[in-house]
Amino acid sequence: MITEELGKDYIFEKRVLNFKNYGSNSSRPRTLVIGVDKNLSNQIVPSELFPEYVEEKSLYDVIGDMDELKWGEYNVRDFYHSFRVYPEHMRSWIHDVGQGESAFDNEDDKKKPHRVVDGEIIINQSKNSDKYTRQIYSKVAPCIHTRNDQMASQNTVHPTQDRVFSIRELMKMMTIPEQFKWLDKDLNELNALTYEEKRKLSKKEEMNIRQSIGEAVPTAIFQSIARKINIFLNQDILTETEIKKLLLKKFRCI
C-alpha cells in the first residue's frame, strides 16, 4: 500500500528487525520501512538510514537497580515507580513462582489462577503460556503490550516482586526519556502529593499512560534514524557540476 501511494516519488526499503538488537531495551519484532525522496536518491538511499546493530541488554541491566516496592507503595523519589495493587487473594498465585514459571505451574490448585463456583475451585483457562508468568532477569525484557497492567496479560510479572512492572520500569524498557512528561505536573510536584492524592491521580491517568507505552515504538530506534538524517542534512552536498570540476582539477594536477 505504501508503494502504491508513494512509489512514484519515493524509493523504499523494508527490513524485519527485532528492535532489541538496534537500541531498544525490550524484544519488539517489527517491520521497519524507510523511504527517501527520489530527488535525493543520488545522494542517499534508505539502507544508509537504518539503525546500527547494538548489543542487547538483559532485563536486569535495564531495571535491576530499581528500588523494591511494598504493596501499594509509591517510590518517594519517583511517582511513576509504584506498586499497582490488585485483588489481594491473587498474590498467593504468584508469590512462590520462580523466574520463567507461571502461576499455572503451582501444584496446589488453590495457588493456580481460579475462581470459586458453588464452593468448587474452577481453574482459569491458560490459552497463552505467558500469563501470570514471572519474567527472567538474565533475558531480554519482553515485548510490552497495551494491557501491561494485568498479571493475566502477556509477560507482565516482575522477576522477583509480586507485581506487574511499574510505569518507570516500562519506560526504561521502551527507552522513553526519563524527563518525558505524561501529566501537566513535573516530577517534583507529583512526588510532593499525599498518598491519597497519588492514588486518585493514578486511578484517573495510569491506564492511559500504560496503554500509550504499549502502543509506542522504542524511542532509541527513531533517535538513531533521526540522527542519521540530521547528519545527511547538515553535510555539504556537491552538485554534479561541482564534482566534475573537482575531478577535472585533480586530473590536471597528475
> In the numeric block, which cell numbers belong to residue 109?
490448585
Give the pLDDT score at 240: 72
12 close to 35: Cβ distance less than 8 angstroms: yes
**Which residues does residue 117 pair with via DSSP β-bridges, in sequence order?**
120
pLDDT tens sequence for the chain (254 residues): 788 888 899 999 999 999 999 999 999 999 999 999 999 888 899 999 999 999 999 999 999 999 999 999 999 999 999 999 999 999 999 999 999 999 999 999 999 999 999 889 999 887 777 899 999 999 999 999 999 999 999 999 999 999 999 999 999 999 999 999 999 999 999 999 999 999 999 999 999 999 999 999 999 999 999 999 999 988 877 677 777 777 777 676 65
d(CA 158, CA 67): 12
Give the pLDDT score at 125: 85
Give the pLDDT score at 130: 84
Give the pLDDT score at 254: 56
d(CA 123, CA 107): 12
Closest-CA residue to 174 (of 132, 118, 217): 217
> In the numeric block, which cell numbers belong to residue 243?
564534482
Q: Could you write out the DSSP letters of every residue in 35-99?
A: EEEGGGTTT--GGGTSPPP-----HHHHHTTSPP--TT-EETTEEEEE-----GGGHHHHHTPPT
**Rounded to the nearest 10 degrees, how much is the dihedral formed by the CA atoms of 9, 215, 178, 189?**
120
Structural domains of the chain, with CATH? 2-56+218-253 (no CATH), 59-215 (3.90.120)
d(CA 155, CA 147): 10
d(CA 137, CA 160): 9
**Rounded to the nearest 10 degrees, how much is the dihedral formed by the CA atoms of 164, 165, 166, 168?**
-170
pTM: 0.89
Using the Cα atoms of residue 100, residue 102, residue 103 and residue 107 in order, give the sign of their dihedral: negative
Total count of residues recorded for the chain: 254
Residue showing cell 543520488: 42
Give the pLDDT score at 253: 64
* CA distances (Å), origin 112, targets 11, 30, 138, 201: 53, 34, 25, 32
Give the pLDDT score at 126: 78
> In the numeric block, which cell numbers belong to residue 98?
520462580
